[in-house]
Amino acid sequence: MHLNGVVDEVTENLLFFFNYLPERSSQGSGTPCYRLASVSNLRTCTFVKMLWPILLAVFAILLVADYSRRQKVIATLGNIPLVSHIPFIGTIAVLFQLNPDNYDRKWHEFILRYGKTFGSFLLGMVFVVTTDHRIVDALLASNENLSKNFVYKMLTSWLGNGLLLSSGKSWQTMRKIITPTFHFKILEGFVEVFDRQSDALIAKLKSKADGITPVNIYEPVGLLTLDIIAETAMGVVINAQSDSKSDLIQAVNEVTDIMANRFVRPHLSFQLLAWNTHMKLKQGINVMHAFTERIIEERKQSLLHADARHTTDEMEFDGDGIGAKKRLAFLDVLLQARVDGQPLLDKQIRDEVNTFMFEGHDTTTSAISFCLYALSRHPEIQDKVFEEIRSNLGDDLNRRISYADLQKMNYLNCVIKESLRLFPPIPAVGRCLDRELKLVLDLSPLWWTKLGNVMGTGQN
């Protein structure tokens, strides 16, 4: 069929579909014809036929532009190989293959095929993925390239402009406020919370410890970390381990699961491609925001009505000016913080508390679960850890664990670090290049985003 015939046929079908032409009939020769059409419809038919060459020309121009840009990128990348590329959409077809079950295996296949560092295109953006520790170190040590890549943006509706998603002056200001909360004198006061909540976990697991039945440790550990982070970050007891069906716990688990799935399937960061989970995600976030806002208001009123003498008695200050409050929750620090003499806005506080709830729950759950998994696969290591704990704590199962006890467990510390190397709770980090990064390769900042594969780096 000639090109003109194809254009005529497509045009006629489109016009008929949109009711620009009346229904077709056939003459004896079998040639399609039309009943009498209005002059305006005939003009429309002529216009659409004329439009086809224009559309083809525009498509050709875009194709050439995409090819030209790709060649410039290839020249910039030098010897860095590129994952298969489809004009305009890039490697999105490859991303559709990813899911939580094959994520690690697929990335391992990419690394074996393309090497430690490779590039890809995705909807106009250029990605460089690397497991080269030199590049990862330079990227994470940079004080300039702090902007997160587009994948992180899917968390904005939940975490707002919290520390995880912010950059520039906002990031530096909040980092300065938050850093003192990690002082060992404050963390030391929370060991009692860790110990008490761990006892609740052990009590739940005892009924399942028959030595035969496999246990999905992730769920009970997740409830444990929720209890701990809520009490340490917000100063509230939510009883997640004893009431796992509450609206708050259900919302946290649903939102976390949806976000985790989207992180391993980056194309789902585009809302149109994730419409089926959008409403559930929105409802879960609303539940968590309402809870956080209520706790902030209650804590704020509590601080306003607190007796000045009582507050002073509760706080002790050392030479560094660090308040060693016995139960100084992260929320208390934010409520008492000042920036240029002004308190933080409620939204700023909410964003930071939600960020800590997310990071302190999800990542810690993964880290503990993988560590327990690794110990289960290496019973000889498990025995050494057990003996170290027993030698430091004795046989008294009711003894409370102190911060000083933890400092003596050097072998356990090594086991945890090795587990984090093999199974990092955050397998990859992404940055947009705001400034040129010079190391083993030069990358200009325009439109570039860089993904450091932490798991691949640790296992290299």
In sequence order, what are the residues at sequence separation of 6 or more whose Cβ sits closer than 8 angstroms to the Cβ of residue 128?
A: 77, 80, 117, 118, 119, 443, 448, 449, 450, 451
pLDDT score at 207? 85
pLDDT score at 250? 93
pLDDT score at 201? 95
Between CA 114 and CA 116 the distance in angstroms is 7
DSSP assignment letter at 86: B
- pLDDT under 70: residue ranges of the chain: 1-50, 85, 88-90, 123-124, 145-146, 266-267, 269-271, 273, 306-328, 434-460
Query: What would the pLDDT profile of 91-150 be if each residue is shown by its tens digit?
Result: 777 777 777 778 788 888 888 888 888 888 776 677 888 888 887 887 777 777 667 777
pLDDT score at 350? 93
For the chain, the structural domain boundaries read 3-71, 146-432
* Class in CATH terms, 146-432: mainly alpha
Q: Phi and psi of 18, rounded to 5°?
A: -95, 15
Question: CB of 423 within 8 A of CB of 370?
Answer: yes
Query: What would the pLDDT profile of 410-436 be if each residue is shown by its tens digit?
Result: 999 999 999 999 888 888 888 877 666
Q: What is the mean pLDDT of the chain?
A: 78
The pair of structure tokens assigned to 316 is 């002790």
